[in-house]
A and B are shown apart, each in its own frame.
Chain A
Amino acid sequence: MSIIDKLKSLIGAGSGDRGASGNGAPARMGGDDMISCEDALRLVNEFIDGELEGVSEARVRAHFDVCQRCYPHLKLETAFREALRRAAATEAAPTDLKARVATLLADAEAEG
């Protein structure tokens, strides 16, 4: 999966049934299973980066899936990441640089 696809899957692009709980309060699903808004927002970057510790991705996702207040923060954070990748991950080394490096390495190899 590409990083962009992963970002899309994190924000659940395509499913439009979010925020059913109304006025921003997270729905109660299975009682104490739900992490708090504060925790969800604190973990949003580790969640996107796949670097959560001590809490499962599913639990964090479950919060963003139903919380109208926190979901937009996840959405904006991923829009930001996509913008960075779009701008900075596409540059390639100039062809003449590649040629120069090849020559440099050939010379180094000849020297032993």
Chain B
Amino acid sequence: MSEASANARPGFEEEALVHIDAVYRFALRLTGAPDLAEDLVQETFLRAFRSWGQYTQGTAAKSWLFTICRNVFLRRRERSQRHDEIVEQSVGREGRGPNPVNPVWVSVLGVDPEGAFFDSIVDDRIIDAINDLPEEYRTAVVLSDVEGFPYAEIAELMGVPVGTVKSRLFRGRRQLQKVLYDYAVEMGYIEARTGTES
């Protein structure tokens, strides 16, 4: 394969560089700090640029960039410190599976059935709550709920089966909902449920 002389990476700007905002957001969620995120974004695009020849044009460039971004992040983390592995549990470990009735919603229903308390929570508090999730949950939730990736793409990106993605989404969302609900109660955005059936 010969390198084109004028532009060695045709299409890189249109297909890859256009995703820099999304990659930056993802890097922010992964690292939790703007300076680390900026560094990660630079490394991601440099690697993507150098291996642009291996990228199949027309496939999901955003997904490809996110994969590179997460791999660089995980490798760096491995080098710098050991991290607490989450215990991978299957959703069905309690026999019939987890309770389909969300306990947080049960607390909310009687006092705020529209979920208006979410509007009172400032963006920074929501972002802090996302950042506090274990990486495996955080990545799944961000890719699905913020960036809108389908389960199959998240599975490929994270290198796990779709069932594991679903399990991580389930646990990550429930954890996030609990944290945000507790915060809203603490701030007086929503009345605490007294525990008695109404």
Contacts and interface: CB of A to CB of B under 8 A. Distances in A.
Interface of A, secondary structure class, is helix
Contacts of B29: 88
A86 B123 contact: yes
A111 B96 CA distance: 59
Contacts, number: 121
B139 to A, nearest CB: 13
B115 A79 contact: yes
Query: What bracket does the count of chain B residues touching chain A fall in?
Result: 35 or more
A46 B49 CA distance: 35
A18 B28 CA distance: 41
B52 to A, nearest CB: 10
Interface of A: 3, 38-39, 41-42, 45-46, 49-51, 72-73, 75-77, 79-89, 91-94, 97-98, 100-101, 104-105, 108-109, 112
Interface of B: 3, 8-9, 12, 17, 20-21, 23-25, 28-29, 34, 38, 41-42, 45-46, 49-50, 97, 100-102, 105, 108-109, 113-116, 118-119, 121, 123-124, 126-127, 130, 141-142, 144-148, 150-151, 166, 169-170, 173, 176-177, 180
